Amino acid sequence: MPVSRRKILQQIGVGAAVGAALPALRGFALNSTGEGTRESFVRADQPARLATAADPVLLYRNENPYGPSEKVLGVLRESVAGGNRYPRTEYDTLIGKLAVLHNVKPEQIVLGCGSGEILGMAALSFLKPGKKLVQAAPTFPSLGKFAQAAGVEVVSIPLNKRYEHDLWAMLDAARAATGLVYIVNPNNPTGTITPRTDIEAFIGKLPSDVTVLIDEAYHHFVAPNTAYESFLDRHFADPRVIVSRTFSKIYGLAGMRIGYAVATPEIAKRLPAGFPNWSVSVVSARAASAALDDVDYVRLGIKRNTDDRQEFMNQVNARMLRAIDSQANFVMVNPMRPPDEVIEHLKKNHILIGPKYPVLDKYIRVSLGTPAEMPAFWRAWDLMPATDKMAM
Ligand SMILES: Cc1ncc(COP(=O)(O)O)c(C=O)c1O
């Protein structure tokens, strides 16, 4: 006899009751009619974990929930002992590896304390009152915040219906008095891509004094056979293009704060002006070098993310929810109920998800956790009272 969804949820319960129910939960899923199925709710090799006040499940900052590789962890531990010295050879080593990886000259690379610092450098170099920033809405907000703090006008153009950058509207906005255009590809918070060919055509039409920053923080998570192509994997011969990348995502080093930009030697020289040229720690630089060497771990990270994203979508579909097709390590979901309530409900259950986005105000953003973490998310989700989905 089928067990009703509500009954199952009551049986599962929260808090202490969840602990007792965990063994039974392994391999358990709810299908779209609310009946229990024995599918891939938790992978057999991953014991599910609890979300507690002291140890919440963090699905809010698009971090790599698996952390860095064992090899990188080893280098991190070793490098701490050298923390009494300022950087000496570490930057050159890392820049040399990045230059080989991207087939550019070392003088084309700028390191930053996270790619967030690169965004700050770009703001300081290319924006000033009278030279505005053009970006998408919604997109990663840091560059816009730097610009606003400097009294610079920010023009935010809504994504198009496919959640791509609306490049033609951005072009109109950038025709006059523009210092910088910011393109995040894949975009945060939507996880969507803007086709390479469209970006190329867009750049070709921009006024010659406008610089373009392409933020490829989530590059590694894009599924093959999409219209996406990195501007580092295949260079685009236009000196106005800067590409930023980070070690915070696929390499699992968000807390180590390290990222970089690739640009022409002239721009690379100009970018760090006004910033300390030693903001990357010795430990971070050495860890980043080791992470670049550990190509198997990068492959594993891509595979894990692909599987985790698919499993997330299976759970979304089982609940008849809607989600934006993501090419990143997070997904925007229409929860069919007010996002504020969902964020609050999950928080009470010690699950932290992304903030609300005014431009996509019916959606929430969920970063993908490990197979051991996600059951806690879905358990908390299923505790929410049913809604009238037709009304949303
Ligand atoms: C699109 C994008 N760019 C840049 C960053 C900044 O990353 P970090 O400073 O950790 O390199 C983030 C962080 O989430 C991001 O989503």
- For residue 116, report the distance from its CA to the centre of ligand 1, in Å: 6
Query: At the top level of CATH, which class does the domain 70-295 belong to?
Result: alpha beta
Q: Does ligand 1 come within 6 angstroms of the Cβ of 248?
A: yes
Instruction: Please state the length of the chain.
Output: 392
Strand segments, DSSP code E, in the chain are 29-30, 36-37, 57-59, 109-112, 132-137, 154-158, 178-184, 211-215, 241-246, 259-262, 322-323, 330-334, 351-353, 364-367
- For residue 146, report the distance from its CA to the centre of ligand 1, in Å: 14
- For residue 122, report the distance from its CA to the centre of ligand 1, in Å: 14
Q: Is 372 helix (H, G, I), strand (E, B) or coil?
A: coil
Q: Does ligand 1 come within 6 angstroms of the Cβ of 194?
A: no
Q: Does ligand 1 come within 6 angstroms of the Cβ of 188?
A: yes
Mean pLDDT of 369-375: 97
- For residue 123, report the distance from its CA to the centre of ligand 1, in Å: 15
Average model confidence (pLDDT) across the chain: 89
pLDDT at 253: 98
pLDDT at 216: 98
**Arch. (CATH architecture) of 5-67+297-391:** Alpha-Beta Complex (3.90)
- pLDDT score of 5 more than 80: no
- For residue 246, report the distance from its CA to the centre of ligand 1, in Å: 7
pLDDT at 25: 35
Q: Does ligand 1 come within 6 angstroms of the Cβ of 184?
A: yes
Q: 324 near 331, Cβ under 8 Å?
A: yes
What is the position in ligand 1's atom list of the atom closest to the CA of 258?
Answer: 11
Mean pLDDT of 140-159: 97
Confidence of residue 14 (pLDDT cuts 50, 70, 90): very low
- For residue 111, report the distance from its CA to the centre of ligand 1, in Å: 14
pLDDT at 48: 86
Backbone angles phi, psi at 335, to 5 degrees: -80, 0
What is the position in ligand 1's atom list of the atom closest to the CA of 259?
Answer: 11
Where do the domains of the chain lie?
5-67+297-391, 70-295
For the entire predicted model, the pTM comes to 0.89
Cα 47 to Cα 28, 41, 208, distances in angstroms? 13, 11, 56
- For residue 333, report the distance from its CA to the centre of ligand 1, in Å: 21
Q: Does ligand 1 come within 6 angstroms of the Cβ of 122?
A: no
**Cα–Cα nearest to 177, from 201, 195, 199, 153:** 153
Q: Which amino acid is at 233?
A: D
Q: Does ligand 1 come within 6 angstroms of the Cβ of 329?
A: no
CA distance 307 to 27: 15
